[in-house]
Structure 1
Amino acid sequence: MTVLSNGLSRRGLLAGASVFTAAGSHAGAAKEDRLVDGVVILIDSNEPYVMGHAISYSANLARHFAERGAKLTIEVVANGKGIEVFRADKTALAEPLATLRQSLPNLAYSMCASSKAIAEAKEQITIPLISGATLVPFGIGRVVDLQLRGWAYIHA
């Protein structure tokens, strides 16, 4: 899969437009509107502006699809240094993340358990997660699993 410079895959870009031609359509066949199954947003940086982008992307995508009468499932996956966004002991975004989750019931937060274990070993602590965040075995594995199920991908 080709990823564009803004982190959006070509498939995700097409899916974000919310219109695909019907698979196997014949000449003259009507186009079929098809929304993506969901959008997965990967955060792998602890830069505040990157983490902030993931929040704004989630809100903007939900609003974009709601204007079209569709509910979009969104999952923000934190991997590597990006796990800081969901660390209750480090994130400055706990309140905005909680507010966003309350307003978007189809929004999920996932943290890479492998990255968490590495950080815990390095820092010699147990890392607490913000409310509502769950662990997945491998963040990047979760991203690929969702893409294989038809989800669009955005790299924050």
Structure 2
Amino acid sequence: MKTVRTLTLAVMLATAPAAGVLAEGKTHYVAIHVDQNDPQVMNMALNNARNVDSYYKSIGDEVVIELVAYGPGLNMFIPGKSPVEDRISAMALEMDNISFAACENTKRAMSAKAGHEIELMDEAAVVPSGVVRLIELQEQGYAYVRP
């Protein structure tokens, strides 16, 4: 009888993650969309990112967050113009699970209108198209959030 129980326990432990017993936390993926030059919307997007991160950490899960900005929302990544510049810099240092994507199409149009190259915050990675980036993320299973 002892051998059967030992074998049963060994099988249970070996299959535990598949059965959800003793499983490690799940990883969630979230894309947050900003296309408005509105400090309230930008702050809400950053609040969403912070709250999602806090929640999943509290239950032992992980989350990967990408904030994508294009159109007027790209202003959130322009140094000296962004109303959330300090928050983005702080969050990038505090959270290794967040990234910021800036639309190249919008950047090019803004640069042409300004007559000079628009500089972006170091935290922002340029992607060819903000809309295409959101499509790609959703195709990869990211949940979509628009504050």
Distance, in Å, in 2 between the alignment partners of 1:50 and 1:36 is 26
Runs of 4+ in 1 over 3 A off after TM superposition: 30-37
5 Å-filtered alignment, 1:29-108, equals 35=26, 37-108=28-99
User: Which protein has the bigger helix share?
Assistant: 2
Distance, in Å, in 2 between the alignment partners of 1:79 and 1:133 is 12
Measured against aligned partners, the alpha-carbon deviations of 1:103-122 in whole angstroms (never above 9, x if no partner) come to: 11010001000011011111
Identity across matched positions, percent: 28
RMSD between superposed Cα atoms in Å: 1.9
Task: List alignment gaps of at least 5 residues for structure 2.
Answer: 1-18
Measured against aligned partners, the alpha-carbon deviations of 1:125-150 in whole angstroms (never above 9, x if no partner) come to: 21111121110000010001000010
Work out which of the residue numbers 118, 142, 145 in structure 2 matches 1:151.
Answer: 142
Using the size of structure 2 for normalisation, the TM-score is 0.80
CA contact (8 A) 1:89 1:127 kept: no
Deviation at 1:92, TM superposition (A): 2.3
Give 1:52's aligned amino acid: N
CA contact (8 A) 1:36 1:151 kept: no
Distance, in Å, in 1 between the alignment partners of 2:54 and 2:121 is 24
User: Greater Rg, structure 1 or structure 2?
Assistant: 2
CA contact (8 A) 1:36 1:152 kept: no
Distance, in Å, in 2 between the alignment partners of 1:62 and 1:37 is 10
CA contact (8 A) 2:28 2:62 kept: no
Distance, in Å, in 2 between the alignment partners of 1:40 and 1:146 is 7
Secondary structure of the 1:73 match is strand
